[in-house]
Amino acid sequence: MTSTRHPAVAGSFYPADAAELHRMLQGFLAVAPTDPLGPPKAIIAPHAGYVYSGPVAASVYAQLRAAADRISRVVLLGPSHRVAFRGIAASSADYFATPLGSVPLDRAALDTLSDLPFVHILDQAHGQEHSLEVHLPFLQEVLKCFSLVPLVAGDAPPEQIAAVLERLWGGEETLIVVSSDLSHYHSYTEAQHMDSATSAAIAQLRYQDLDYQDACGRVPVSGLLYAAQRRGLRCKVLDLRNSGDTAGPRDQVVGYGAYAFH
């Protein structure tokens, strides 16, 4: 019997109506410039409500359109916001659903992680978690047919995240997506200062310089930077803004960055 992880934040973080969601995504993607470096192997994108972070996320998701025919698997990692645990949480579901349809999980790929002692099936970590869910409609909009390897990161060192990524790295058929916002609830000017420093650390793959106040997805981001450093990838900053630039007030803002790794 198959099981499906149903959307938890449709209607709040993004539209629950498929046609409205499609129009919103197309609007974001239409104004995103194309990077001459071409489609990346890995990306970091934000996970807030679309009115706040959607334009920033689109700046990196737009780069995937040229690779839509060859990307058939997405490894998606995000931080846990609701459940505290050690290690990395996999899902027992067969599908993850959004208003745009259902995406099958790559159960065979998940099985390759079963001998890692820090990877566990923990459906509670996935049930209400938005850090993965908000990326799925973007992926459904820009790619064609793909399977998903969704992983929620708890308390885990960069080496554990990188070990998982190494198992799942694959070739050009595999895209790695890491979900993270940047600073939270500082003034506009202070957030700009903090996020600029964080963005520089990410661009230079300095995973050891990231702290929890710098990025809510510090754990998966640090792991990706660790793996990128070992594999000789280069990072390009495609967008860096905050909610004061998109749709919110400027007294307490949340920072967003979009990064491509080649």
DSSP string, 215-245: -TTHHHHHHHHHHHHHHT--EEEEEEEEHHH
pLDDT of residue 248: 85
| Overall average pLDDT of the 216-221 stretch | 98
- Per-residue pLDDT band for 55 (boundaries 50, 70, 90) equals very high
Judged against a pLDDT cut of 90, whether residue 6 lies above it is answered with: yes
The answer on pLDDT for 125 being more than 90 is yes
User: 3-state class of 118 per DSSP?
Assistant: coil
pTM: 0.98
Q: Residue with structure tokens 């990306």? A: 43
Radius of gyration of the chain (CA): 17
Residues 62-95 pLDDT 10s: 999 999 999 999 999 999 999 999 999 999 999 9
pLDDT recorded at residue 1: 82
Maximum C-alpha span of the chain: 52
Q: What is the pLDDT of residues 157-168, one digit of tens each?
A: 999 999 999 999
The dihedral over CA atoms of 2, 164, 76, 64, expressed in degrees to the nearest 10, equals -120
Domain ranges of the chain: 4-261
Q: How many CA atoms lie within 13 A of 46 on its CB side?
A: 32
Q: Does domain 4-261 have CATH number 3.40.830.10?
A: yes
Q: What pLDDT does 217 receive?
A: 98
Residues 76 and 104 sit within 8 Å (Cβ to Cβ): no
> Cβ(260)–Cβ(202) under 8 Å?
no
Give the span between the Cα atoms of 60 and 63, in whole angstroms.
Answer: 5
